Chains A and B, each alone.
Chain A
Amino acid sequence: MADNAVQFELVSPEKLLLSEDVEMVVVPGVEGDFGVLPGHAPMISTVRPGVIHVFEGGSVKTRIFVAGGFAEVTTERCTILAEEAVALDDIDRAGVEKDLQDANEDIRDAGGDATQLALAEARADTARAKLVSLDNLVYQ
């Protein structure tokens, strides 16, 4: 591992999605975005649905949407446990809009079923977060 790099790992329940050394990552924490550079103070944070930015050479190299999760940062690595992760470029806008619509219908149909309601609401939140992320591209 290089001295001036963060060992970045993105893990989803199914598999290890990404593991590489990067210059900086910006993670959407619940209390605001935070950038991780080498030598960052150790911390554990909840991640809100949003976009992870991977920086290389001073500009954004990859944007990855995550539907929430957890981040563990130590001085040399940054591990993200994501619930769902997809490259922002691969998100199909129409598909997301349809997801949102379906989820909203499910919320209406759920009735008293708490389990179904919670699941549908989570889906709707994710879809909304995807749309917001697509509309507001931050950093260059």
Chain B
Amino acid sequence: MANLKEFRVRIASVKSTQRITSAMKMVAAAKLRRAQEEAIAARPYSERMERMLGSLAQSAAASGNAPPLLAGSGKDHTHLLVVMTTDRGLCGGFNGSVGRVTRQKILSLRAEGKEVKLLIVGRKGRGILRAEFGNMIIDTLEDTARPAPRFETAVEIAQRVRTMFEAGEIDVCTIIYNKFISALTQEVTPQQLIPFALPEADASDAADTDTEVAANAAYEYEPDEQEILTDLLPRNLSVQVFRSMLESFASEQGARMTAMDSATRNAGDMINRLTIQYNRTRQAAITTELIEIISGAEAL
């Protein structure tokens, strides 16, 4: 009979695990909705900033004296990778895939003889990369997205990157984050922050871009292009960091929701299997008991 009790205990334990995972799934789903809305709400700013930067960059490139943040430091020896991961686990392959892409990037950069430094955002990223690349990690930032990503945090990160760049410690900076595509899919995206690379215009925007460019030619600048650029570029850096924080946060919630959903389903399957086994064992025990009673009665 001890056997039956073991089954009961296991079923109860799987049930309580299922309750936790399904609660986590619901929390992630609620957070996902908000994170998604925030990511979308933040888009106008970066879009308009890109539009402004685009026209400024063109005229600065034409005049040939673009500031370092735009033109680079002239070398590309030291690369800084900003790796966006989560603080908490239980979100499926989220951190693993960021880790994998980062690892490939580091290895290919090292093969080219470049020096690599890592600035990690999120506790989990540190755990993944510490074993192999511990000596490259400059710092790990934790709790950057609690309860939600804030612009001030992005400014701090950007400021740090800029200080390093200005001190000549790094030449190129790339941020690696999970881009939010849908609740089920995230795409690890490396994006170069320094020197600033203008995103390619989509084919669908082509006609739109043409008219933009025509309009750009006529802009007046106050105070002048150089000064606006020196203000705008650091600003843009913060905005890019903020955008990747928001994307990463939304992706995290999506990944967690999916992971917890399948965990809940797996737990359900397991409970069904265990229940069947439990019933079989119980029936077998009853049958044995009956046989014992009947054969006892016959013997009399």
* Chain A residues engaging chain B, CB cutoff 8 angstroms: 9, 11-16, 29-31, 34, 41-46, 70, 72, 74, 79, 81, 83, 114-115, 118-119
Contact = CB atoms under 8 A, between A and B. Distances in A.
B223 interface: yes
A26 to B, nearest CB: 15
Contacts of A118: 159
B222 A70 contact: no
Given A13-B242, A14-B38, A119-B155, A43 B222 contact: yes
A14 to B, nearest CB: 6
Contact of A41 (B42, B44, B220): B220
10 contacts: A13-B151, A16-B41, A42-B215, A42-B218, A44-B219, A46-B223, A46-B231, A70-B231, A115-B159, A118-B159
Contact of B48 (A14, A15, A72, A115): A72
Interface of B: 38, 41-42, 44-45, 48-49, 51-52, 55-56, 151, 154-156, 159-160, 163, 215, 218-223, 227-228, 231-232, 235, 238-239, 242
Nearest to B150: A14
B41 A43 contact: no
Contacts of B227: 46
Contacts of A72: 48, 51-52
Contacts of A79: 48
Nearest to B231: A46
Nearest to B52: A72
A86 B4 CA distance: 66
Contact of B44 (A16, A34, A74, A83): A16
A119 B218 CA distance: 35
A133 to B, nearest CB: 20
A119 B155 CA distance: 9
Interface of B is mostly: helix
Contact of B156 (A9, A45, A115): A115
Contacts of B41: 14-16
Contacts of B159: 115, 118-119
A101 to B, nearest CB: 19
A16 B42 CA distance: 7
A37 B55 CA distance: 23
Contacts of B219: 42-44
Given A13-B242, A79-B48, A81-B52, A43 B42 contact: no
A87 to B, nearest CB: 19
Contacts of B38: 14-15
A12 B156 CA distance: 17
B163 A42 contact: no
Nearest to A115: B159
Nearest to B243: A13
B52 A30 contact: no
Nearest to A34: B222
A97 to B, nearest CB: 20
A79 B45 CA distance: 10
Given A13-B151, A13-B239, 14 more contacts: A9-B48, A12-B45, A14-B42, A15-B45, A16-B44, A31-B223, A42-B218, A43-B220, A43-B221, A44-B219, A44-B220, A45-B223, A74-B215, A81-B52
A114 B163 contact: yes
A44 B55 contact: yes
Contact of A11 (B44, B163, B215, B223): B44
Contacts of A46: 222-223, 227-228, 231
Contacts of A29: 222
Contacts of A44: 52, 55-56, 219-222, 228
Contacts of A9: 44, 48
A129 to B, nearest CB: 16
Report, nearest first, the 3 A-B pairs whose CB atoms are least far apart. Answer: A15-B41, A45-B222, A43-B220
Contacts of A42: 215, 218-220
